[in-house]
Amino acid sequence: MRHLRLVRSFRLGIKNLMLHPLRSLLTVLGLVFGVGSVIAMLAVGEGASEEALEQIRKLGSRNIILDSVKPVEEEMDTGERSRTNSYGLLYDDEERINVSYPSVVWTVPVKTIRKDGRLGERQKELRIVGTTPGWFLLVERPLVVGRTLTWQDMEEHSAVCLLTEKGARKLLATEHSVGEPIRIGSEVYEVIGIVRNEEGSAGSQTPDLEEDAYIPLSTVRERYGDLDVRRSAGSFLREQVELHHILIQVDETERVERTAEAVERMLRIFHKNQDYRVRVPLALV
C-alpha cells in the first residue's frame, strides 16, 4: 500500500508540473542558480584561503617583518638642498630585539640600495640587498647554482654577491655564472650563486620582478655607508636610513602576535616619529 501511495504521489507531482511548464522551468532555474551561486562562493572562499596560506608559507607563519617608512612630514618637506632626511629602523633596534625577547630565535637585518650592475657592454640597474646568511633561512629563495652567503663572508667583508635569475640572465647572458666578476656601482664583486626570483615578494602582494644582488651587510656598510644621495629635479636628495627591513622569527606560532605587540611598543619608545611599520604574515589568516 505504501508503495502504491508513493507512485500515485509521484504521478500527481509530474502532472502538476506539466500543467504549469513555465512556472516549473523558472523553479528549476532558481534551484540551479541558487545552488550554483553557493558552490561558486564556497570555491572563491576556498581559493582566497589557499592564497592566504600560500603567502603565509612564503613569508613564514612565525615571522614578523619590520619596514622603514618615510614619515609623512618628511615626504612633504621640500627643505633646503643640503637637508638630510634621517629616518627608519636602526642597527640598535635589531640588537635590542635580540637581547630583549626570549621568544625571538632569529633576526635578519636588511639594507637595500640601487646601483647599476655592469659586465662588459651589458648594464642593468640592480637592487642591492645587504643582509646576513640568516636571510636565506627566513625567506624562500631556492638556490639554482653556487652557494649562499656565509658568516665568514660577513666577518671578512667579502666582495661577493648572489644574483636572482632575472638579473643573471640580463647581465651574465652566456658567461659562466659562478665565479664571474661583475661591477656594481664602482665596486667589483664575484658572483658566488644564483637564486630564483620569487612569485610573490615579502614586501608586497605583487609578483617580485626585481633584479637583486645579495651582498654581505658588512660589505654594504663599509662600501656604501648609510647616506644615499640621489639627484632629483635639479637638486640632491639626501636620505640616511640604517636598515630598511628587519626580519624576526619567533620560536612558536602562538607567541608571534604577542611578540609583535611587544616589539612595536619598544619601537615607539626609541622612535619619536612613526617611521616604521610592523607586519605579521600570520594575520592573513
Dihedral (Cα; 55, 58, 60, 66), 10-degree rounding: -80
**Cβ(27)–Cβ(13) below 8 Å:** no
CA dihedral (264, 268, 270, 276) positive or negative: positive
| Global pTM value | 0.72
Count of all residues that appear for the chain in the document: 285
Q: What is the rounded CA–CA span in Å between residue 224 and residue 194? A: 23
pLDDT digits (tens, 9 = 90+) for 220-262: 999 998 887 766 666 667 888 999 999 999 999 899 999 999 9
The residue written with cell numbers 667583508 in the block is 157
Sheet holding 235-240, edge to edge: 84-86, 235-240, 227-232
Mean pLDDT of the chain: 80
pLDDT band at 200 (very low <50, low <70, confident <90, very high): very low
Instruction: Please tell me the distance from the alpha carbon of residue 36 to that of residue 27, in angstroms, as a whole number.
Output: 14
Cα separation, 284 vs 160, whole angstroms: 36
Q: How far apart are CA 223 and CA 201, in angstroms?
A: 27
Quote the cell numbers at residue 77.
Answer: 618637506
Question: Which of 171, 149, 151, 172 minimizes the C-alpha distance to 162?
Answer: 149
Instruction: Give yes or no for residue 161 having a pLDDT over 60.
Output: yes
Please tell me the least confidently modeled range out of 5-9, 220-224, 264-268.
Answer: 5-9
Calpha distance 280→285 (Å, rounded)? 10
| Segment 55-99, tens digit of pLDDT | 545 556 789 999 999 887 655 555 555 567 889 999 999 999 999
275's grid cell: 617611521
Q: Can you spell out the DSSP letters for the chain?
A: -HHHHHHHHHHHHHHHHHHSHHHHHHHHHHHHHHHHHHHHHHHHHHHHHHHHHHHHHHH-TTEEEEEE---HHHHH----TT-EEE-SB-HHHHHHHHHH-TTEEEEEEEEEEEEEEEETTEEEEEEEEEE-TTHHHHS---EEEE----HHHHHHT--EEEEEHHHHHHHTTTS-STT-EEEETTEEEEEEEEEPPPSS-TT-SS-----EEEEEHHHHHHHH-SEEEEEETTEEEEEE-SBSEEEEEES-GGGHHHHHHHHHHHHHHH-SS--EEEE-GGGG-
| For range 263-269, the mean pLDDT | 95
Beta pairing class for 84-86 and 235-240: parallel
